[in-house]
Amino acid sequence: MHKLTQFRLCPRSRSIRLVLNELSIDAELLDERPWEWRPAFLAKNPAGELPLLEMGGETLLCGTYAISEFIAEEVSKHPAHTGPVPLFPGNREARSEVRRLVDWFHGKMDRDVTHEMMVQKVHNRHASGGPQAPSPDVMRALRTNLSYHLGYVAFLSGQRRWLAGEELSFADFAAAGHFSVLDYLGEVPWESYPDAKIWYQRLKSRKSFRPLLADRFPGVAPPPSYTDLDF
């Protein structure tokens, strides 16, 4: 049995959970709270980053980059597999577009919005010196940054069926990891970005998404629209 060490509100963990669900790869979920820096976790990944995927008790994969590329190679080389690389559709140029967008969401959007939003609204509730309330100035800046990223998703969705092209790809799941966490926190003004909303609605209706919609983190309740497929 594979094991995925993850945190239920971590965007990168979520993107890999979605990918595993899409590809019907079963993995036991092990919960890790990233702000605890547990020695047993750091011994596995000294970077202290999530998620970690242990494949069949042998191979330890750290981080979305190593995990995504490994999964794509693993599934493609299976004797029963035919056709293009799963979730990396198309030719090399098309795969470069997928990778550019994965980097956009796990890199740029994480730096601009998600990482600090999680610190403000979740991690700081568990700060060692006691819970800290979000800073209004920081929250305002993060919401401004988020509107830019929503605009970019709306722009892409207005031109393509999925974010990187006509086929579903790792790019959609990278984006979904971030937007689903922000949606859990009630931070996404979907109504102002109808094309982004259509993209997210189609993704959220997939079977692979259901386990994520059932997740709850103690002390932080999602708004009712979080689980509503016709939000």
Measured CA to CA, the distance from residue 163 to residue 154 in angstroms comes to: 9
Contacts with a second copy by CB under 8 A: the residue count is 27
Which one of 5, 114, 146, 152 is in contact with a second copy (CB under 8 A)?
Answer: 152
Query: Contact, 94 vs 100, CB < 8 A?
Result: no
> Does residue number 195 form part of the binding site for a second copy (CB under 8 A)?
no
Examine residue 41 and tell whether it contacts a second copy (CB under 8 A): no
The one among 41, 104, 200, 209 contacting a second copy by CB under 8 A:
104
DSSP letters, 103-152, are HIIIIIIIIIIIHHHHHHHTGGGG-TTS--PPPHHHHHHHHHHHHHHHHH
DSSP character for 217? B
Query: For a second copy, which is the closer residue by CB, 61 or 212?
Result: 61
The torsion region of residue 65 among left (phi > 0), alpha (psi -120 to 50) and beta comes to: alpha
3-state secondary structure of 7: coil
Determine, following the binding rule CB under 8 A, whether residue 40 of this chain makes contact with a second copy. no
Q: Does 136 bind a second copy (CB under 8 A)?
A: no
CA separation for the pair 137, 139 (Å, rounded): 5
Over the window 44 to 83, marking each residue x when it contacts a second copy by CB under 8 A and - when it does not, the resulting string is --xx-x---------x-xxx-xx--xx--xx---------
**202 membership: H or E segment, kind and range:** helix 194-204
Beta bridge partners of 31: 6
Q: Which of 8, 17, 99, 178 binds a second copy (CB under 8 A)?
A: 99
- Residue 103 or 195 having the CB closest to a second copy: 103
Task: Give the shortest CB-146-to-a second copy separation in angstroms.
Answer: 16
Q: Would you say 76 or 124 has its CB closer to a second copy? A: 76
Which residues contact a second copy by CB under 8 A? 46-47, 49, 59, 61-63, 65-66, 69-70, 73-74, 92-93, 95-97, 99-100, 102-104, 107-108, 111, 152
